[in-house]
Each structure stands twice: as C-alpha cells, then as structure tokens.
Structure 1
C-alpha cells in the first residue's frame, strides 16, 4: 500500500492524552476506573456499548465471598474450593489473594449502594453455588452474595453511578483497534475508532488497562453477548503478547436448549434439580456429596454422558430437564425472577409448573492475557531454580516437585483484568461466583497499582509515540475501504465459529482437535480477504464485524492449537483418548500431573507454544496438594 499518509483520507485524527486509558466499560473496567478517578487521575474508558449494557449485566447468580451470613464459613474453605475447582491449574498465590479479599470488596460494593438481597437480620443474603463447600468439601455452603438473579445488573449500575459521581470520562461506542508499543516493548496506549463518526483517534496513556471481556462468540452456540469477540485478546496477540491457557473453555450446564441463553446456577443453588428422561436426579450418581452443585465442568460432562448413553429428553433425546417446580412460585418470583422470564420467552415454559430444557453451552474462557495479582501483563523471563516438574508416586500415592516458581517480567504500562486476563485464579475450571469476584478484586488491585505506577514513575511525562503509530491501524482500515472482492465478514466469522464448535466441545478427541487445527489454519486466506461492501463511516456495523473477525481468528487459533497440544484431561479440557482406568488415582479425568501441570502460552506470530509452571506456593498458608477431584 506504500507509505501511510494519515491526511490523505483520515485528516481529522486526534491525539488524546490521559493518565490511564481503560478499554472496556464492564464490571472490571469500571471498578478500576472508579479507583483511579478517586485518586484524581485523568481517566478515559473506551466502551463498545453503553457501560450498563456490557456483558457483566448477564451475570446472574452472585459474588462469592465467605461472609458466613447463612452458615459458618471462612476464606480458607473458599481458597480450598477454588484450587480444587481449578483442577490444580490455578495459581495458589493469586487464588489466596482473591479469596482473602472477597469479603472486603463485597462490603465495599454494599457501601457504594449495591442492592443485595437481605436476610431478616439485615445481613447480605447468600445462596449455595456449585463447588462451594464448608470444611474442605464436607457439605455445600451458601457463599454467593446475591441480588436476586440480577447480580451483574446491580453491580454495573452501582459502578456506573459511582463513576459518574467521580467524573470518569467515557468514550461510548468506541472500538479499540491496536495496541501501541515502542521499540522497548512498553505499551503507550491504543488506537481506536468512533462508531458514530468513523473517525480514528490515538489514545496515549501512561498506563493502558484492558478490560475487554471474553470471547465466547468464537463458538456457534454461546451464552455470551454479540460484543464478546475477543477484542483485547486479538490486540494483545497481534502485538506479540502470548495468550495463556486458551484450551480451557467453560460450558455452563444450563443454557436454554436451542437458544443458548443462560439460566443461572442460582437455580440449582436455590434447590433446582437436573433430571434425565426417566425423571431421575442423576447428579446423585456422579457427585454424591454436592450433587447438582458440583463444579460446572463436572456437571456438564455428567449431562453430556447422560445424553450419550440415551437418557436425554425430548424427541431427539438431546437435552436435560432443569426442574424447579418443587420450589414454588413464591420462591421463584422472589429469588429467580429473570429465570422465570427467560423460561417463558426462550423455552415457552412456565418454570413454576414444568421443567426447562437445558444443555451445556459455552459460557466463559478461563485463559487470556497473562497477568499477576496487580493486573500487570507479564511475559516469560526464565525460571527460578531450574525447570519445574511434578512426579506422582503410585506406591505412596503422593506428589513430589522439583523447581519453584516461574520468573516473569511485566510489560511496562500494560494491565489486563477480568475475563480477558489470566491471573490465573480459575485454572482449568472456574467456580460459579468467581467471575464477578475476579472483576472487582483485580479491578481494584490494578487500579491501586496504576495509581502508584503513574504517580511515582511518570509524573507529567509521556513517552514519545513511535513514528509509525498509526501504520497498522490505517492498513487494516484502508484494506477494507479499498476492497472490491472477497467474502462477507459474517460468512467468515460463522465458518470460524463452526470449526471451534465442532472440534472443541465438552468431550474432545485428539483426532478432532488435530483436524480443527488444520481447518482453522486453512481459513486464514478468507480472513485476510474480507470484502466490505458498505464503505460508509457512520455506525457501519459491517465495518465493525469485519474488524472483529481478525480478533475472533486469533482466539480460535489459540484455542485449537493449545487444546491439541494438551494431551490429558483436566477441568474443562476433556479428551476422550486420555481418560484413565477406574483404578487410577485421578480417574475419571485422565489428569497427567507429572507432564501437564503447567500453563500453555500461545504466540500468534508463528503459532508457537511455550509453557510455564503453575504457582503452587500461596502467600501465607500451606499449599493445597493435588489429589483426585470427587464431589
């Protein structure tokens, strides 16, 4: 295309400067922006949609915190459950930090005015949730702090009002396009496009924070909003940042069959039961203690197993029934009003009178941009005390380890929080309630670190921008503007979704994964040859979709390549080829701790994988040693 001349057709490009730029106006982004605005920093929040329409609004069930308002509870139990829920791929220092901070951040939200449900004594109402237990797995415990079944909605409105009060500057319906890095690799901001006008701007900042949410729309059937196209992941990958643990995708057990709309785990927390075609509450067979409140990967596999063995419901025997009829209309309308509405609208079912058909549906990515507990994006920088390894002794039935923690270095000026990040507190499987908790704990932590970073290390100074700051962005835009042939963006996006859906489901096989890798790599010419028929600039949704496809493609490659490489079963990654015999200590998962208790790191430039060890050492307590997961 020759030399870039911005004045040629984009003469009104602005260069806007801020102490911090936050990309994403959902729960994590607004928790961080509130922290920064309180400290008097000049903050810009770029958001694809109006903040209260962010996907956080879809979170229904609650925020996990060991308040102990309903039963005895403490953060040690919460810590244990989260490590076990992660199938020991979660980093125990980060998990301790999150679970210890949980009560504090919930009370902070309460003081900001978040309308939690209340007990008769005025304390915050808590409901049981999958994988949460008292006394290290002994019995289920109510830990989810809930605002009916609209907790995410309540959280977003609380944080938005708090940000408005503090004067946070929102750039609504702006889409970030590319990360700005200098020769040293420091991050200096982002380029972005205004959907309302089609104008491009450079957002220069001393600190750049990604809070862009997940990428669930890389699957054909998803509970995610249509805006969840992995924008932050795509930008980071194109800028040379690795993506971590992208093989791990959570299938939520209760998506409405045929619609994909989420029914909160709170349904089962309030006492809902999953039943097969015989009316049997089958989870009692798979998880005798926690039953329907086992972790999500466990429940989804159990549901799929029932369907595979011919006990599914309906004419095609392809779904399970979620039965809440025994709860009574009063409880459902008080605790689960949105579920009642969803059942009527998307399944034509009155859930007070009959069960709702459900199937496991893609819901959440456990992987993302690698970070530390301060939200700093980190990249590998060697390993302390030699390479890490874990060994399982069949005779003693104990694990031994060599080596210690991975040594990483932060990317200066770059932070990531929420679903787009991987700290890693979720490991191979996220517990319900940990998503909202992750948002507010690490949103606050990143905000605090950015305040320190900006005030102590920058003052009034901005690093100079690279001379080619707009080159990649304008090339992408102009390629679409100049296109005369090629495919429609929606067709290419649908092809990507079909490949991921068909090859990386609840149950996977090595042959399917290998085939998926070949197919996703073969689709690249189609991604690079998208035709934009409508060249207009004002609210051109076709242009937005074309730009999103590049991000979806990065996520799809990372998912399939990472999944094909991990030759074991762990958490949400179940490969039938590697399931183990019933007498094996890690049956029925096929977990191979001696070889695969490590994080994957995928690099976009050459589809290369590297690995780093799981961080086993918590901050203040003893580590939870790996063992078989039973519930």
Structure 2
C-alpha cells in the first residue's frame, strides 16, 4: 500500500475543546498546524457539554480559586495531583475571560457579567455551602464553546483534516514521537503526518460501556494508540457515572438542572439526597449522588414497574426559568423521555459519563513515562490524565480542563518546536509497517468474529463487572471475560470491504482502541482493593481506620497500566501544591 507523507510544525489529533484551544495557541504563533478529526470539528463531543465551565469569577457572590482548589482535591478523593489542580484553578478566570473575548456567548447577569450557577461539589469557604461558579451559556455551554474556538481557528488559518481517522503513533529510534499515521475515511488513503510536536486530544472512551452518555465517536482512539506505542495508562479504574442520564436512553441531563433547583425523588416522592448528603443534598459530588440513587433502587424505592430509576423534579420551578436556562433539557426530556419537565418529573438513572484516567501528563501537557517526559508527545482533555480529576471529577471541571491544558499544551509545544532543528528525523519503516500489517489483517480476515457482536460483548461485560458498585468476584470474572474478548477482537472480520465510506472498517479499527481501554480499566480496577471516589468495592468496608473504605496507607497512589503483559506499576500522588498549603487528607463528606 502506498503511503503519502505530509509535514507540519505541530499535529493535533482531535478537534474538540482541548485540541482546538491548543490549535489557536499554535496557529496564532505562526506555526504550521494540522488538526486531524474523524468528524467535522463542531460535531466533536465537547458540543454535548451542557452545564457550564467552572471559574472563581465571583460574579454573583464571593469566590476564590483556593476554594475551587479545595473542592477539586476533595472531589478527587485526594487522588488528584495538587500541583496540577492549583495550576488549573488559578488559571480558570483567565482562560474563561479569554474565551469570552473569542466570542463565547455566555449568559449574563442583570449587571452584564457572565452568569454563574451552582454545581455539584462546588462550595464556598472550603466546603461551607454551595457557590455559583459554573459559567454557563444556557444548557448548551459546550456547543457555544466549540463554535467559538472553531471560528477562532478558521481566523488563524489552522489546517483541518476532516473525516480522517488516526491509526497509530509513530516513534523514533530514541523513543521520541514523530507524528501519526492516519487514514482518510472517504478514500481509504493512508498518510503519514510528521511533526516536531504531536498532541492527542481525542476525548474519552465511554463506549466501552453498554449504557453511556458518550457519543458513538468516543472510542478511546488516543488512549488505544498510546497503549500500543508502549505508553502507560494512568488511573483507568476510575470512571464517572453521571447521576442523571435519561432512563432507557442514556442521554445526558445536565447537573445544571439541579444547579437551578432540581430535586431527585424516589417512588414515594421523598427528596432522598437529604439522607446521604445533608449539607450539599442534590448538589453533592457525582459519585456520591450516583451511589445514593443506585442504593434507593436496590432497596426497592426506585420508580416505575421495575423500580429501575428515580425522578428528577423541576415542576416547582418557574416555567420561564426552564425555558430560559434549560431549553435544551426540556427538548431532550420531551424527545427521549416523553415528558414535559414543566409538568412532570424526568425519569433518570446513573449512566457512564467520563473517563478520569488516561495518558499520563504533567500540567504542561507533556506526556510522562516511567523514565520521564516522552519527547515530542503531548496530551490534553479527557484522553489525558494530568491528574486533576483523581478518583472523581467535579462537574464543569471538564470544560475547564480543556481550556487550561489545551492552552498550556500549545504553549509547551511552541517552546519545544522553536528549539528543534529545521530538518525532521527519519521515521523508522517498521513503525509504518506495523500499521499497514494491521490494515492488511483486517482486509484479509475471513470467517472471523463480527465487529458488532464482539463490541457488544465487551460493552455488556464492562457494564456488569465494572459499574457503579464493584464486587471482588465480578471484577475477577470481568478480567477473564475481557481477555477472552480481546482474542476475538484480534480475529474480527470486515464484512463489507468497500474502500469508499467504509464504516465497517472504521468500527473495526475503533474496536482495536476500545479493547485496550477495557483491559486497562478492568485489570486496574481488580487490583485496587480499596474504595475511592468512583471506584467502590463491596469488600472494602467503612471502618474508623478506612473511612468509606478508603485506604490511604496502601492506596494513595496512581495506577499505571502497561499493555505489554497487562503489567501494573504505581507512582505517588503529588500532595504538594505549587504555592499554597496542601489540602490535608480527611473523610470526604457533603
């Protein structure tokens, strides 16, 4: 197969919020910048983010970045690195104002300031009471952000390669990253994109689960490519289940609904979160709310004939508030739940939403391996693990993550590129041949496993074995099942071998990435024998020594999973911030 070659100063894989924020920084500095995306940029999954982006602007009431930092460390169940968390929270006001100057149409207060709403886990004065910190554009914040960033990139002459699928990372003989090899979906053309610096901003991999708020494009492409290239994956056992996906559909109902005053109720109409989080109530951290909902259902207080969901009630709100602040949510509820939330509560259930782990980076966006920085390689957004989210992400910190680390990655890449010699190094032919062999195997495979059936088996297994609550025997069984499914993935057959718009080929290549994510998740979860944040095990009981099953003596550390041999290693959590006093360990309660 003939392989074309293109060269750039910087190559970015992924055109969501992180990729486009980095691209703005690079392109506006005059560097030749390419962005590869398998969908049109404004269809990237950032467009689905609803509730807001967090920043301690203090537009409605007093706020401070140190309070935001405290909430983020606490939300992470102390698994977040405090240097990166300080960096993110301190940068938040600046990157939000920059975005506003790019043309982001934020909602406004009566005084003309950016409108802010409360969100789960965000508190004033170090956990005292909820605070308005989420900067919102109605309930379509991600949509507004993505369009603003895309327009800024068009102005900066960023070069987009739309409907191209990145296949593999290309590494030099010294271990440095030299670019990626990618395929144009329409023609099947394979091209090497070589650059002095490469950024992965490919988003999450929620499609490893059967029920997910994630788009079908969220297949962990960057994470899978990194794993195949020998890069470890960090903290992959931690997956956030959003409390409010539409029951039976999985479509997201933003936390902003509860920020505007929405209440979760069980079958008897009780506001049950008062029992689980007396202070924050419905605005407790997402993992806390999700487990409370599942507990209500498991104990027979769920709604509907199967008692398999609870109700999100906003019927007590002024209809004008719903129409102004939550218009998209009303539309979703009518279309996917068949209810008008002005008149009836919305049936909701916890649904896989966010990947806390990913490609390990520092807060400059540089990818880190056991022996230090991987030269020429950067990651930002959901595919990366800085680690600011630790064991549980606070709502609205995802969009902030995109802005802060997209920008810092771009700045780091500029610094590196300007030090590089003009001539690009030779790419080892073996790196290209590995990808061509994988494509050839897919095209030649006969009487193999069905891509669809294999993917479905993986998703059902992950849903059963690594969900909201985790059990020792189920986790061990899950490891065995996923490793067996991996063998099927290696033998999948493409039924339609047409070269033009071959979605079957793309789905097979995506499955290669999904199975790496599933392996990393289930192996890491099985090994972590404590409960922390979103990872809750039945065999890690709540004791005075281990509050909520958390074991800080043995497990206050990051997991690193290596594809080679399903090997695990660990590294310490950074407990020392950059300039302020550390947030001390304590029991996590809301």
Residue 585 of structure 1 and its aligned partner are, at CA, apart by 5.8
**2:158 equivalent in structure 1:** 168
Unaligned runs of 5+ in 1: 1-9, 382-408
Question: Residues 548-575 of structure 1, C-alpha deviation per residue, up to 9 Å, x if partnerless?
Answer: 1110110000000000000000000000
Structure 2 residue 225 is matched with structure 1 residue 235:
yes
Residue 579 of structure 1 and its aligned partner are, at CA, apart by 2.0
**1:614 equivalent in structure 2:** 573
Residue 328 of structure 1 and its aligned partner are, at CA, apart by 2.1
**1:363 equivalent in structure 2:** 353
**1:630 equivalent in structure 2:** 589
**1:46 equivalent in structure 2:** 36
Alignment TM-score, normalising by the size of structure 1: 0.93
The separation in 1 between residues aligned to 2:143 and 2:179, in whole angstroms, is: 29
Equivalent residue for 2:137, pick from 122, 141, 147 = 147
**2:393 equivalent in structure 1:** 430
**2:171 equivalent in structure 1:** 181
**1:343 equivalent in structure 2:** 333
8 Å contact from structure 1 (residues 586, 627) kept in 2: no
Question: Residues 35-63 of structure 1, C-alpha deviation per residue, up to 9 Å, x if partnerless?
Answer: 00000000100001000000001100000
**1:398 equivalent in structure 2:** none
The separation in 2 between residues aligned to 1:492 and 1:466, in whole angstroms, is: 33
Residue 524 of structure 1 and its aligned partner are, at CA, apart by 2.2
Residue 533 of structure 1 and its aligned partner are, at CA, apart by 1.6
Secondary structure class of the residue paired with 1:441: helix
Equivalent residue for 2:202, pick from 169, 194, 212 = 212
The separation in 1 between residues aligned to 2:208 and 2:26, in whole angstroms, is: 32
Residue 485 of structure 1 and its aligned partner are, at CA, apart by 1.4
**1:263 equivalent in structure 2:** 253
Structure 2 residue 561 is matched with structure 1 residue 602:
yes
The separation in 1 between residues aligned to 2:480 and 2:189, in whole angstroms, is: 38
Residue 586 of structure 1 and its aligned partner are, at CA, apart by 4.8
**1:311 equivalent in structure 2:** 301
Secondary structure class of the residue paired with 2:539: helix
Moved over 4 A (4+): none
Structure 2 residue 262 is matched with structure 1 residue 272:
yes
Secondary structure class of the residue paired with 1:523: helix
8 Å contact from structure 1 (residues 586, 629) kept in 2: no
Equivalent residue for 1:76, pick from 62, 66, 70 = 66
The separation in 2 between residues aligned to 1:432 and 1:114, in whole angstroms, is: 20
**1:246 equivalent in structure 2:** 236
The separation in 1 between residues aligned to 2:416 and 2:552, in whole angstroms, is: 38
Question: Residues 225-255 of structure 1, C-alpha deviation per residue, up to 9 Å, x if partnerless?
Answer: 0000000011000000000000000000000
Secondary structure class of the residue paired with 2:530: coil
Structure 2 residue 447 is matched with structure 1 residue 485:
yes
The separation in 2 between residues aligned to 1:460 and 1:117, in whole angstroms, is: 46
**1:579 equivalent in structure 2:** 541
Secondary structure class of the residue paired with 2:430: coil
The separation in 1 between residues aligned to 2:407 and 2:121, in whole angstroms, is: 25
Residue 108 of structure 1 and its aligned partner are, at CA, apart by 0.1
Residues paired across the two proteins, number: 590
Unaligned runs of 5+ in 2: none
Residue 469 of structure 1 and its aligned partner are, at CA, apart by 3.2
The separation in 1 between residues aligned to 2:353 and 2:429, in whole angstroms, is: 41
**1:463 equivalent in structure 2:** 425
Alignment TM-score, normalising by the size of structure 2: 0.99
Residue 459 of structure 1 and its aligned partner are, at CA, apart by 4.0
Distance 1:81 1:25, change over 3 A: same
Question: Residues 410-456 of structure 1, C-alpha deviation per residue, up to 9 Å, x if partnerless?
Answer: 10000000000000000000000000000000000000010010012
The separation in 1 between residues aligned to 2:424 and 2:394, in whole angstroms, is: 40
Secondary structure class of the residue paired with 1:602: strand
Alpha-carbon RMSD? 0.8
Equivalent residue for 2:504, pick from 542, 551, 568 = 542
**1:63 equivalent in structure 2:** 53
Question: Residues 565-602 of structure 1, C-alpha deviation per residue, up to 9 Å, x if partnerless?
Answer: 00000000000111214xx2653x20000000000000
**2:95 equivalent in structure 1:** 105
The separation in 1 between residues aligned to 2:331 and 2:406, in whole angstroms, is: 31
Question: Residues 239-279 of structure 1, C-alpha deviation per residue, up to 9 Å, x if partnerless?
Answer: 00000000000000000000000000000000000000110
**1:322 equivalent in structure 2:** 312
The separation in 2 between residues aligned to 1:114 and 1:440, in whole angstroms, is: 13
8 Å contact from structure 1 (residues 79, 99) kept in 2: yes
**2:6 equivalent in structure 1:** 16
8 Å contact from structure 1 (residues 585, 628) kept in 2: no
Equivalent residue for 1:34, pick from 24, 28, 44 = 24
Secondary structure class of the residue paired with 2:569: strand
Secondary structure class of the residue paired with 2:348: strand
Secondary structure class of the residue paired with 1:507: coil
**2:279 equivalent in structure 1:** 289
Equivalent residue for 1:513, pick from 467, 475, 486 = 475
